[in-house]
Amino acid sequence: MAVKKRHWFLNLLMLITVIVCISALAMHYKNWIKAKPDKVQILSGFYHVNVPYSEMDSVRFVDKIPPMQRLNGFSALEKEKGIFQEFKDSLTDKKVYVFVDNISQQKIKVVYKDSLKLYVNRKDSLKTLELFDFLHKKLESEVLPN
């Protein structure tokens, strides 16, 4: 009995599919946080947000994220990422951005532009604390300029 070889196009298609899946996993593996002079950029795969320091209203720690409806995003193991909408705020289009690498640790809640919310933490709790200190100092320097 002769073994029939697969067409080269199907092999190429399977290889491209595997590469795309591995790339998507690598992009969402952690939060990429970049501090610029006027804003902080948070990127995790397809999800990103820019938070200008001058438009931050509050920065604080929270233990839990409130119940929300996922507009798009994902949850996997300890990670929670994407764009959500609070249940109590379902009549408006206010989006809540969630970039949580470790759901069991404290999260940083940033309120900016009067009512937009962002929840973020890092896999390492010390890096989360450093990010909180950095954002808190930026908030204080914007509120109380010299």
Per-residue confidence (pLDDT) for residue 50, from 0 to 100: 92
Per-residue confidence (pLDDT) for residue 62, from 0 to 100: 94
Q: pTM of the full predicted structure?
A: 0.79
82 torsion bin: left (phi>0), alpha (psi -120 to 50), beta (else): left
Per-residue confidence (pLDDT) for residue 142, from 0 to 100: 72
Below-50 pLDDT ranges, the chain: none
Per-residue confidence (pLDDT) for residue 59, from 0 to 100: 93
Per-residue confidence (pLDDT) for residue 5, from 0 to 100: 74
